[in-house]
Chains A and B, each alone.
Chain A
């Protein structure tokens, strides 16, 4: 198996807070990893290190064999890495199609054609009808769908997803889970998918990894991991169980 993402003994401090404590993780090409953990356990920090937005204080990270520590984040898209952030990143004054078109402009410089391409991706997530609306008009669910289409439009080899399901209804979560899963199946992309709730990714991912206070406390088959005593305690210790 080819290792697509390699995280090796990574630690990260914010002042006195140790956000990540000696975390190691290897993700094979095409594998879909679920990363869960209570609030503040370091999930976003780990993704941001992979996005080159943060530099690890100790250890190193690698995607497709390329060392990332301190790399210019501008080069990440060339490596085939796409991100969906915990907090939506929408350009409200552009149309929905333009928001997605920006992601294909790298390979299609003609705005008109880029928009047509963008509309195809929007149709895939069921937003075809809203392509020409201003993005400011979308509700939270539609924004997340748009961001999914934008990530898909980049044809990523590696997809980093952060709390895509938070704040959505059961119905909406089910819909998005299905879309992401079928996209990952058909594209063969490698993914790290962060969610907060313990049960949210059991059926969607190949492997489930749990962070608690910056440490990796479990890594394995989803069904087993959610029954792991340490995982349950970590979630009980914090105030949320879902």
Chain B
């Protein structure tokens, strides 16, 4: 049974996490590819979601499952505010390089500010809580129940996002804009409305993911950077502007992450991740699934 256990911990567990990674990377991917906005504060949204669930549990004993809808509302609000205060000004320039530059500068500052304020308000010390820690045995490995909540949350988020992208008019419009920004203008799509929705998708997904993952991680003001890198790596792996690529990228990422953890000493995880990211960019800059051709 030795081998079976190893398979469970090396392959099955990572796969259980991958739907959440799909959701985390989709938010980043959709915003970047439709608007060219690079949100450096992306990981901090995961942190905000994690603190939301933590405080609701610590103060009001509200279980994380119930705080997920709260996190979603907070995410929608943040997406709306970020669009109206920051993004629409940057987008007004209409130039790809200006949008990329200014969004990096603006959201880098935002990231620093969010981390600083959170550290000041709630102290930089990591916190955590336990909820549904009791395990289910798979082979001789005990898998905590909360892992399954994380999985279900990820599946629901990824599934909803795919339905939105592939089966609603606004989703088809977002995919259209990703590939032909000019054309969308020509046929009279209301681009500002579409960009606002892309902004909201890109905040709801990480905030909710943060609420879900909070059951299993140490929560601190600086935890976000890991999720920013995860989103970057998966997007690079799967292909920018390719929503299905995010799915493939997330599974690959989860498996590689587990292999790295198994083969290499811990503590340098971010270093390995970033190296992986650079390698992908060097070897296959369009990602494994390829990037849709952009018509300008």
- Report if A and B associate in a common complex: yes
> A residues engaging B (CB < 8 A)?
51, 73-74, 76-78, 82-83, 89-94, 98-99, 101-103, 105-106, 109-111, 114, 150, 154
Q: Is the CB of B169 within 8 A of A105?
A: yes
B176: contacting residue among A51, A77, A83, A102, CB under 8 A: A102
Interface size class of B (residues with CB under 8 A): 20 to 34
Question: Closest CB of chain A to B95's CB: distance in Å?
Answer: 14
Question: Closest CB of chain A to B195's CB: distance in Å?
Answer: 12
Which stretch, B184-192, B248-256, B258-266, touches the partner chain A? B184-192
Q: Is the CB of B175 within 8 A of A93?
A: yes
Most buried by B among A76, A89, A101, A110: A89
**Minimum-distance CB pairs A-B, first 8:** A77-B188, A111-B169, A103-B187, A91-B179, A89-B183, A93-B292, A105-B169, A89-B295
Say whether chain B's binding surface is mostly helix, strand, loop, or mixed.
helix
Question: Closest CB of chain B to A212's CB: distance in Å?
Answer: 28
List chain B residues, Cβ under 8 A from A74. 185, 188, 191
1/0 per position for B159-200, CB-CB distance to A under 8 A? 000000001110011011001101111111111000000000
Q: Is the CB of A102 within 8 A of B184?
A: yes
Q: How many A-B residue pairs have CB under 8 A?
A: 73
Query: With an 8 A cutoff between CB atoms, is B125 at the interface?
Result: no
A89: contacting residue among B169, B182, B189, B292, CB under 8 A: B182
Q: Is the CB of A73 within 8 A of B185?
A: yes
Q: Is the CB of B189 within 8 A of A102?
A: yes
With A89-B295, A92-B179 known as contacts, the answer to whether A98 contacts B172 (CB < 8 A) is: yes
Closest to B180 in A: A91
In addition to A89-B183, A91-B175, A106-B190, 9 A-B residue pairs with Cβ atoms within 8 Å of each other are A73-B185, A90-B295, A91-B180, A92-B179, A92-B293, A94-B172, A102-B173, A102-B189, A105-B169
List chain A residues, Cβ under 8 A from B175. 91, 93-94
CA distance A114 to B173 in the complex (A): 12
List chain B residues, Cβ under 8 A from A91. 175-176, 179-180, 183, 295
Most buried by A among B169, B186, B190: B186
Closest to A153 in B: B187
CA distance A203 to B79 in the complex (A): 55
List chain B residues, Cβ under 8 A from A82. 186-187
CA distance A90 to B296 in the complex (A): 10
Q: Is the CB of B187 within 8 A of A102?
A: yes
B172: contacting residue among A77, A83, A101, A150, CB under 8 A: A101
Q: Is the CB of A73 within 8 A of B186?
A: yes
Closest to B241 in A: A93
List chain B residues, Cβ under 8 A from A94. 172, 175-176, 179
CA distance A103 to B187 in the complex (A): 5
1/0 per position for B116-142, CB-CB distance to A under 8 A? 000000000000000000000000000
Closest to A98 in B: B172
Question: Closest CB of chain B to A35's CB: distance in Å?
Answer: 19
Q: Is the CB of B172 within 8 A of A111?
A: yes
CA distance A235 to B153 in the complex (A): 66
CA distance A231 to B177 in the complex (A): 41
Most buried by A among B168, B176, B293: B176
Q: Is the CB of A93 within 8 A of B191?
A: no
Question: Closest CB of chain B to A148's CB: distance in Å?
Answer: 14
List chain B residues, Cβ under 8 A from A73. 185-186
